[in-house]
């Protein structure tokens, strides 16, 4: 600050200090729950998730079949793995099969195994996932796509523990714990005669519905921080600053791909980051298009319900950026071109968070600062 300081300088400084105090002031965190399996943990601040975490923590150690229902990418596989680790079977194998990724004519063989020559291409005998799981846990994901024939065989395993490999008449016994997952509500499929009702009622003893990420707004930022740390450690990259616009973008995007999409986007951003900072430029264009409306110059346009002050600030920031670029980021030349004092230029640059801009990187980071 120059002496004697102008009243406007005091006002700007006061506003900045108030913002800092608001950011660092201790606040009461919302109620949360955590579940650990040693290396992995799930933390939620979403009220609808809290009873799910509590109940799963209690039943993980018991040998019962579980049904997990939720959209693709909501974390069903991760949760199933944690249930396995928290159970007495934690040292036994954990088998995971995505039924939707297999041709319908190969699902039976994948689940129960087959004998050599039992069908075209069966050049050798193969054990199925039920047998491979041993006394561990078997996760059947996307169970809703199973045919009526496969559903009947699965029901038999659940009721008797018995199954036969393809091409064999000899029954084998399964000792694995079964966890099944579905992307849609099985009750609706049952009502439409697309899923066996007797199998559904067998599976519906303990059902957990995992909410989509858009239903967990309190968890988006904590999850993002965890994914940033994980990706930084995995790729040996240092991130020490996340731009405010990134936080706003993450909170307002709908995340149709749920946790999987969020993690993939965070990894992309970390890999593309520069100088230890995450900006909106490092994320996919479709996310930016949904959350931020840009003008041809790369600046955020004012929403339709913005105030006159918002529009004035937007235009002023654009003019500042344009003049800085045209004058090689020389402050004196820029101030002269704009017809203001150098002190006045610094005030406006500080107001819009532009003081850290430097000539070598400004063009690359132009979008991220707005």
Per-residue pLDDT reduced to its tens digit, 201-226: 998 889 999 999 999 988 999 999 99
Report pLDDT for 197. 93
Report pLDDT for 363. 36
Report pLDDT for 22. 63
Runs of H (alpha helix) within 117-243: 129-133, 148-160, 186-191, 197-203, 217-235
Residues 6+ apart with CB under 8 A from 201: none
Tell me which DSSP letter residue 62 carries.
Answer: S
Q: What pLDDT digit, counting tens, does each position of 291-333 carry?
A: 754 333 444 444 444 555 665 666 677 778 777 777 777 888 8
Q: Are 178 and 138 in contact (CB under 8 A)?
A: yes
Tell me which DSSP letter residue 329 carries.
Answer: T
Q: Which residues of the chain have pLDDT under 50?
A: 293-305, 360-370
Report pLDDT for 301. 46
Rounded-to-integer distance, Cα 61 and Cα 197, Å: 27
Q: Is 301 helix (H, G, I), strand (E, B) or coil?
A: coil
Residues 6+ apart with CB under 8 A from 360: none
Report pLDDT for 356. 62
Any idea what the Cα angle at residue 36 is, between residues 44 and 144, rounded to 5°? 70
Report pLDDT for 295. 33
DSSP of 155-169: HHHHHHSEE--BT--
Residues 6+ apart with CB under 8 A from 41: 34, 35
Report pLDDT for 300. 46
């Amino acid at each position: 600050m120059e002496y004697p300081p102008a009243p406007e300088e005091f006002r700007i400084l006061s506003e900045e200090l108030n913002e800092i105090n608001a950011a660092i002031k201790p606040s009461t965190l919302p109620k949360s729950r955590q579940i650990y399996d040693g290396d992995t943990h799930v933390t939620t601040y979403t009220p609808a998730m809290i009873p799910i975490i509590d109940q799963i923590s209690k039943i993980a150690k018991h040998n019962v079949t579980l049904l997990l229902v939720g959209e693709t990418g909501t974390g069903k596989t991760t949760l199933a793995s944690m249930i396995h680790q928290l159970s007495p079977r934690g040292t036994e194998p954990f088998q995971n099969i995505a039924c939707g990724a297999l041709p319908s004519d190969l699902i039976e063989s994948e689940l129960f195994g087959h004998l050599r020559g039992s069908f075209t291409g069966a050049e050798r005998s193969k054990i199925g996932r039920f047998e491979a799981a041993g006394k561990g846990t078997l996760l059947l994901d996307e169970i809703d796509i199973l045919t009526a024939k496969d559903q009947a065989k699965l029901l038999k395993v659940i009721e008797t523990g018995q199954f036969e490999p393809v091409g064999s008449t000899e029954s084998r016994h399964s000792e694995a714990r079964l966890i099944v997952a579905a992307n849609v509500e099985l009750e609706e499929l049952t009502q439409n005669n697309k899923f066996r009702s007797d199998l559904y009622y067998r599976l519906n003893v303990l059902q957990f519905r995992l909410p989509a990420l858009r239903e967990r707004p309190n968890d988006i930022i904590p999850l993002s921080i965890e994914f940033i740390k994980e990706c930084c450690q995995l790729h040996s990259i240092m991130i020490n600053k996340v731009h405010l616009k990134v936080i706003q973008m993450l909170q307002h995007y709908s995340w149709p791909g749920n946790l999987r999409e969020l993690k993939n986007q965070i990894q992309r951003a970390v890999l593309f980051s520069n100088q230890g900072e995450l900006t909106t430029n490092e994320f996919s264009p479709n996310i930016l298009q949904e959350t931020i409306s840009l003008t041809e110059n790369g600046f955020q346009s004012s929403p339709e319900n913005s105030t006159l002050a918002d529009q004035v600030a937007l235009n002023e920031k654009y003019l500042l950026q344009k003049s800085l670029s045209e004058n090689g980021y020389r402050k004196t030349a820029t101030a002269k071109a704009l017809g203001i004092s150098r002190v006045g230029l610094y005030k406006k640059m500080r107001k819009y968070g532009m003081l850290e801009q430097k000539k070598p990187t400004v063009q690359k980071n132009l979008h991220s600062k707005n």
